[in-house]
Structure 1
Amino acid sequence: MTHNPEGPQHLPLADLPTTDLSDLYPDAPVVAPLFREFGGRPRFTGRAVTLRVHENNPLVRETLSTPGEGRVLVVDGGGSLNCALLGGQLGELGERGGWAGVIVNGCVRDTAELQGLNLGIRALAAHPRRSGKQPGGERDVPVTFAGVTIHPGDRISADEDGILILPPDAHDPA
């Protein structure tokens, strides 16, 4: 827990727990508590890069192969529980590329490997089957799942208490 004797209003947003952010931004959407933690970084924050795919992950690989620059990849897999959209190899790509985290509205695999990465990872469940390799999907589109809509550029903050979506213009408290 981050503690500042002057109160949360004097910490940068990236250092605030979601509980304090929720108090500062009471209208900020909160992702329904459906997601499990799979990565080795329980707390992460960054700007959203969004994807919409269905049971195929080439676009996930392509995106994680680009510089993450501290951003969060949000993958809307339609909530499919039929295969994993992210595994150890793609998690390593994300870690090496400087991504802060990945949120998958779907499944992951290689969970022991994912736990060892310095990457925040949230997903609905684990699944041993890999995804298909057909190209396709959409990038940088609004995605809606778990009671929220996430737009490209939204600020994502995730920790042990949940996932909060702040608007792109949210700024550090004065």
Structure 2
Amino acid sequence: MDFQTTDLCDANEGKVRAVAPMFRSFGGKQRFAGPIRTLKVFEDNALVRSTLEGPGEGSVLVVDGGGSMRCAMVGDQLALLGVKNGWAGIVVYGCIRDSGPIGGMELGVFALGTHPMKSIKKGAGDRDIPVTFGGVTFTPGNWLYADEDGVIVSEAPLL
């Protein structure tokens, strides 16, 4: 996918929202985009697994982990599910782990940081609801574009 978020912002002024600069890129794909799917969870990644086990169809999974820095919401096994099932990327408002292996995968992965501890697995949380962090509301079906300069969201595809 060939785009730059800076160019998309310039060409679509007033139609895009930029997420506050808080994320680091961990995936093998530095640039990714797609329709948004969401999860709202806290220190429990069972819904992350079950979602990534399903067809991604080029979507971006936005995981609102409440900004927790106490455990990881995505590791290499879940990222590999994302690759195998056609997800364009994962944005985690929280931490990931296994950053080395994830860096070699054809998947965009943005997160606040890394943490070696795994999460609990009770299945608590919400799927496909609007979530808000970084000054932006991520609504399922809107579009997310991410690259080296940041993350932007639009209501419709820009490319």
Q: Same fold (TM over 0.5)?
A: yes
2:28 to 40, 57, 60: 40
User: How many residue pairs align between the two structures?
Assistant: 158
1:140 matched to 2:125? The reply is no
Q: Residues 44-94 of structure 1, C-alpha deviation per residue, up to 9 Å, x if partnerless?
A: 000000000000000000000001111000000000001000000000000
**CA–CA distance in 2 between the matches of 1:23 and 1:135?**
41
| Pairing 1:157–2:140 present | no
| Counterpart residue identity of residue 76, structure 1 | D
1:17 aligns with 2:14: no
Quick one: which of 36, 51, 60 aligns to 1:63? Answer: 51
Which runs of no fewer than 5 residues in structure 2 stay unpaired? none
Kindly indicate whether the alpha-carbon contact (under 8 Å) linking 2:8 and 2:158 is maintained by their aligned counterparts in 1.
no
Q: TM-score, normalised by structure 1?
A: 0.88
Query: TM-score with structure 2 length normalisation?
Result: 0.97
Q: Which amino acid aligns with 1:135?
A: G
Structure 1: runs of 5+ lacking an equivalent? 1-13
Q: Distance in 2 between matches of 1:171 and 1:81?
A: 33
Q: CA deviation at 1:15?
A: 3.1
The CA deviation at 1:171 is 4.7
| Alpha-carbon distance, 1:143 to partner | 0.4
Distance 1:73 1:135 in 2: 17
Say if 1:171 and 1:111 are closer, same or farther in 2 by CA, change over 3 A: closer
Letter in 2 for 1:58: A
Partner of 2:39: 51
The reply to whether residue 82 of structure 1 matches residue 62 of structure 2 is no
Which of 1 and 2 has greater Rg?
1
What per-residue deviation string (whole Å, max 9, x for no partner) do you get for residues 9-34 of structure 1? xxxxx532101100111121101110
Opposite residue 2 of structure 2, the aligned amino acid is: D
In structure 2, C-alpha distance between the alignment counterparts of 1:162 and 1:68, rounded to whole Å: 22
1:100 equivalenced with 2:88 (yes/no): yes
How big is the shift at 1:165?
A: 0.3
Give the superposition deviation at 1:166: 0.9
